[in-house]
């Protein structure tokens, strides 16, 4: 029996085979089914943002950080950008929609580039850069419309947010993963903060890790709000698939910045995290 009933209409079967989501005979194993479900669920959040930018600008520039094998980028291109590319070619437009995949593993960048070329996905580029290096790289445009980071580990999510702020992104979509930096600072400063009864929240190592992860995402949300973004937080898919599926979606609305900036500063002070002000900066 075919697994094609789980595949979105218009999705290239050849692409899914090339990404090893489908086997050569069109079957899917449990791991592939989970990956595809995650990417499709994320696509439901991203598609309206793509449409919003298209209505406003007529083209979309999207940067995907920590792209890995670029499941997200390829499926986004296949379901949305491919039609834009065809239209652009018909109208002989030079400056159209584009997806940039940023990845530190050179072999993955090379294989993704080869696959894009094979599929004729002309509006896709893959760059062998860290997220931090991409901020200053002249291989990326000065401004972008949408920034995504799916399971970018630890501080890579913060670097992706910094990139988005530098590039004046209209939309930011991140699924943070494995954030350990805040937990490390909480652990290091625990003895200084013992007079504060709130320290009980992260006294035990497992609580330090989990609380640190929670606080990291709270600080990210406040930071985005302090830069004028409207922020929503939800889960990507059911918790049965992964405990790392908190989805943060931010849309630039030029909202008032003072109150979230003050709140962020208060949280840093209260929890003994003042040394992290530079990471969660609220002014350019």
What are 202-224's pLDDT values in tens digits? 889 899 989 999 999 999 999 99
Q: The tokens of 157 are what?
A: 């999510």
Measure the CA–CA gap between 199 and 215, rounded to whole angstroms. Answer: 13
pLDDT for residue 83 is more than 80? yes
Rounded mean pLDDT of 67-75? 93
Question: Structure pTM?
Answer: 0.91
Q: Band the pLDDT of 194: cuts 50, 70, 90.
A: low
**What local confidence, expressed as pLDDT, does residue 92 receive?**
52
Burial of residue 37, with CB atoms counted within 10 A of its CB: 0-12 exposed, 13-18 middle, 19 or more buried: middle
Smallest CA-to-CA distance from 127 within 46, 136, 174, 20 is with: 136
pLDDT digits (tens, 9 = 90+) for 252-264: 999 999 999 999 9
Rounded to an integer, the average pLDDT of 124-153 is 92
149-191: per-residue pLDDT in tens? 987 776 888 999 999 999 999 999 998 877 788 989 988 887 7
282 close to 227: Cβ distance less than 8 angstroms: yes
Residue 262 · residue 190 · CB < 8 Å: no
**Token pair 């593993």 in the structure block, residue:** 105
The residues pairing with 278 across neighbouring beta strands, listed in sequence order, are none
Q: 110-146: buried (b, 16+ CB within 10 Å) or exposed (e) per residue?
A: eebbebbeebebbbbbbbbbebeebbeeeebeeebbb
Which pLDDT score, from 0 to 100, does residue 1 have? 39
Task: State mean pLDDT over 59-83.
Answer: 93
Separation CA 151–CA 39 (nearest Å):
12
The pLDDT value recorded for residue 28 is 87
What was the pLDDT predicted at 277?
A: 94
- Rounded to the nearest integer, the mean pLDDT of the chain is 88
Confidence band of 273 (pLDDT split at 50, 70, 90): very high
Summarised one tens digit per residue, pLDDT across range 37-65 is 888 888 999 999 999 999 999 899 999 99
């Amino acid at each position: 029996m075919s697994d094609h009933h789980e595949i979105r209409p218009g999705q290239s079967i050849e692409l899914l085979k090339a990404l090893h989501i489908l086997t050569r005979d069109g079957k899917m194993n449990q791991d592939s089914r989970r990956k595809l479900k995650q990417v499709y669920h994320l696509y439901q959040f991203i598609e309206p943002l793509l449409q919003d930018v298209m209505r406003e600008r007529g083209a979309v520039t999207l940067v995907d950080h920590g792209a890995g094998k670029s499941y997200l980028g390829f499926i986004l291109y296949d379901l949305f950008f491919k039609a834009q590319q065809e239209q652009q070619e018909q109208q002989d437009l030079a400056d159209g929609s584009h997806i940039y995949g940023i990845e530190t593993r050179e072999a993955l960048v090379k294989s993704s580039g080869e696959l894009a070329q094979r599929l004729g996905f002309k509006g896709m580029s893959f760059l062998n850069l860290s997220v931090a290096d991409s901020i200053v790289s002249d291989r990326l445009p000065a401004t972008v419309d949408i920034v995504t980071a799916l399971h970018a580990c630890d501080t890579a999510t913060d670097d992706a947010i910094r990139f988005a702020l530098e590039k004046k992104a209209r939309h930011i979509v991140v699924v943070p993963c494995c954030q350990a930096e805040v937990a490390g600072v909480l652990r290091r400063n625990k003895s200084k903060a013992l007079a504060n009864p709130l320290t009980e929240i992260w006294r035990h190592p497992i609580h330090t890790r989990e609380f640190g992860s929670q606080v990291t995402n709270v600080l990210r949300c406040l930071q985005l709000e302090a830069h004028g973004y409207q922020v929503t937080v939800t889960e990507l898919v059911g918790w049965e698939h992964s405990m790392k599926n908190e989805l943060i979606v931010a849309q630039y609305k030029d909202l008032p910045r003072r109150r979230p900036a003050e709140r962020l500063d208060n949280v840093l002070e209260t929890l003994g995290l003042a040394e992290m002000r530079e990471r969660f900066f609220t002014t350019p």
